[in-house]
Structure 1
Amino acid sequence: MVQVRVAGVALDTSGQHVILLQPLEAVPAESKLLPIWIGEMEATAIMVAIEGTETPRPLTHDLLRTVLETLGATVERVEITRIDDGTFYAEITVAGGTGGVQRIDARPSDAVALAARTDAPIFVADEVLAAAGVDDVITEAETETEVEEFSKFIEEVDPEDFRE
């Protein structure tokens, strides 16, 4: 397993949201990024957590964090465990409460959104990074631009936009 950080949330050339995970021990010019395509709502949830943006009402991942805290449980770690036919799989390791240590199946976007809210470390299986990782060619300036654009979106979004 390789510990990673969220390097950014971006849009690909077709307008799809993608989260970029980068190994903590990344060596410039040799680094890999793990892109995982996610939905717009999931991208918003991750960016809200990363930027520490306050929302008028708790988002789903905020609710989950509160439930875990209320039950005396903590998120110990998040792992992107495998990729199968282009679909990524993740697990959330939760400790405490009445259940000891539990590993819970999750979508990577939900796992990362929860990790961002609980400061839990994120890991990627070596095999996943080898199979789906891409060379890190994104510059810091490009990442900052994407974050600025997404921040502007967050500031202008109305909670009513998320009602079904």
Structure 2
Amino acid sequence: MKMQLAGVRRESPGDAFVVDLQELEAPGRMLTIFIGVGEWQAIRFALEGRDTPRPLTHDLCKSIVEALDATLDTVVITELRDEVYFAELQLTTGDTTITVESRTSDALALAARFDATVLVSASVLEAAGYRDTDDEQPESVIAEFREFIDTVSPDDFEES
């Protein structure tokens, strides 16, 4: 299933770092993956287009791939086993495709730098994907709430 990097964030409690992926086609499921602070920062910098004075590890990896006249076309999250995600990098050089095993967090940091396609196997998405219902408020509910806010007064909450 084709996904997009929807963003990175800090998750409370415990200040965990996560990356959110969103399915590009219906039903638009989400996949949240816990990552380390280094990968969180690397993905965030890439998504924001932020440059650093010296290359970070993932910048170095990108430079090496490019120096070898290759490109990272696709990252595939292949498996979820014992709460650990497994991923592969699909690199192309000339007519040859090379598949390299990778930690998922590193694969996503590289995908952000190369603007590579991110795929998640159906079995992983079935096991760990979820529907993000937070943004699915019908417009009528939002309008009703706005009307309530505009007309409410403190007197409405006094006990009789």
Name the TM-score class by shorter chain: 0.7 to 0.9
Deviations 1:109-162 (A, max 9, x none): 10011011111100000110010112213449xxxxxxxxxxxxxxxxxxxxxx
Which of the numbers 112, 115, 119 marks the counterpart of 2:111? Answer: 115
Matched positions, count:
135
Distance 1:110 1:69 in 2: 17
Alpha-carbon distance, 1:13 to partner: 2.2
Alpha-carbon distance, 1:100 to partner: 2.4
Shift >3 Å, 4+ stretches: 137-140
Equivalent residue number for residue 151 of structure 1: none
> Which blocks of at least 5 consecutive residues in structure 1 are unaligned?
141-164
> Which blocks of at least 5 consecutive residues in structure 2 are unaligned?
137-160
Higher radius of gyration, 1 or 2:
2
1:57 is the counterpart of 2:54: yes
3-state SS in 1 of match to 2:34: strand
Which of the numbers 68, 72, 75 marks the counterpart of 1:75? Answer: 72
Quick one: percent identity of the two aligned structures? 43
What is the TM-score of this pair, normalised by structure 1?
Answer: 0.77
Distance 2:106 2:135 in 1: 26
Equivalent residue number for residue 150 of structure 1: none
Flag the structure with more relative contact order, 1 or 2, with Cα contacts below 8 A and sequence separation at least 6: 1
3-state SS in 2 of match to 1:123: strand
The aligned amino acid for 1:6 is L
3-state SS in 2 of match to 1:42: helix
Distance 1:133 1:46 in 2: 20
Alpha-carbon distance, 1:17 to partner: 0.6
